[in-house]
Structures are given as structure tokens and as C-alpha cells.
Amino acid sequence: EVLLVESGGGLVQPGRSLRLSCYASGFSLGDYTVHWVRQAPGKGLEWIGFIRRKDRGETAEYAASAKGRITISRDDSKSSAHLQLSNLQIEDTAMYHCVRGGTTSGYSGLDQWGRGTLITVSS
């Protein structure tokens, strides 16, 4: 079974940092780009960034709202990806989803989504 499982969320004070992890099973994560999408409570979806595959340099792109405060990394040997968030603000409170993207064969949608991990930023 293809699965993405996020972890690392929780309650955190404003200004602190947090590192989320995403573990893949049932497929080779290294063959895919990895995206992070968040959803604030009762709100819509917000794409916050992605990391390319190793054969594309493992470079990342970020949304302007998060640029400078987030870093996406990956460790294909451990079938994992990570989202480092710093200087967290109240408005970063959201469910954070890890999502599978394009492959070496091309793009066929963000076709697998994790259930998400919730970050609550509050003093």
C-alpha cells in the first residue's frame, strides 16, 4: 500500500521552530518530487513548497508567504522528507500535508496525500 505519514506537529509558542517529517512506504520516494501543502482550520489549501528529485538537483521552491522561514529537505535512503519551519507565527497554525508529485516519467498530479500533522502556534 502506498502511504505517506507525517509526524512532528504539536503545540508550539510563537517564535519557536519545528521540524516535520514525512515517511513514505509502498513506493520509492526518490522517484518523486515531494510537496508540502497546509490548511488552516476551516480554510482552503495553501501550497507552501516542494523539493525536486535528486536527478534534478534536490532544489526546492517555496511560497512567498513562507520563504525565509521554511526549508524542505529529503533523505531518499530513509524514504523521508522534512519541513523545517522557523519563527512560527499564529497564522502558521494549520494541518500540514506531505504530498507526492511528479516522477521521472512525468507529472500526473499530486496523487498521494498524507493525512497531515497539525501545528498549533499559541502562547
Partner 1 sequence: DIVMTQSPRFLPVIPGEPASISCRSSQSLLHSSGRNYVDWYLQKSGQSPQLLIYLGSNRASGVADRFSGSGSGTDFTLKISRVEAEDVGVYYCMQLLHPPWTFGQGTKVEI
Q: Which is nearer to partner 1, 18 or 96 (CB)?
A: 96
Q: Which is nearer to partner 1, 18 or 49 (CB)?
A: 49
CB of 3 vs partner 1, minimal distance in Å = 12
Distance (Å, whole) CA 52 – CA 10: 27
Where on the chain is the footprint of partner 1 (CB under 8 A)? Answer: 35, 37, 44-47, 49-50, 61-64, 97, 107-111, 113-116
Q: Which is nearer to partner 1, 82 or 114 (CB)?
A: 114
Task: Report the SS3 class of residue 9.
Answer: coil
Q: How far is CA 42 from the centre of its chain?
A: 19
**Cα-flanking dihedrals φ and ψ of residue 81, to 5°?**
-140, 160
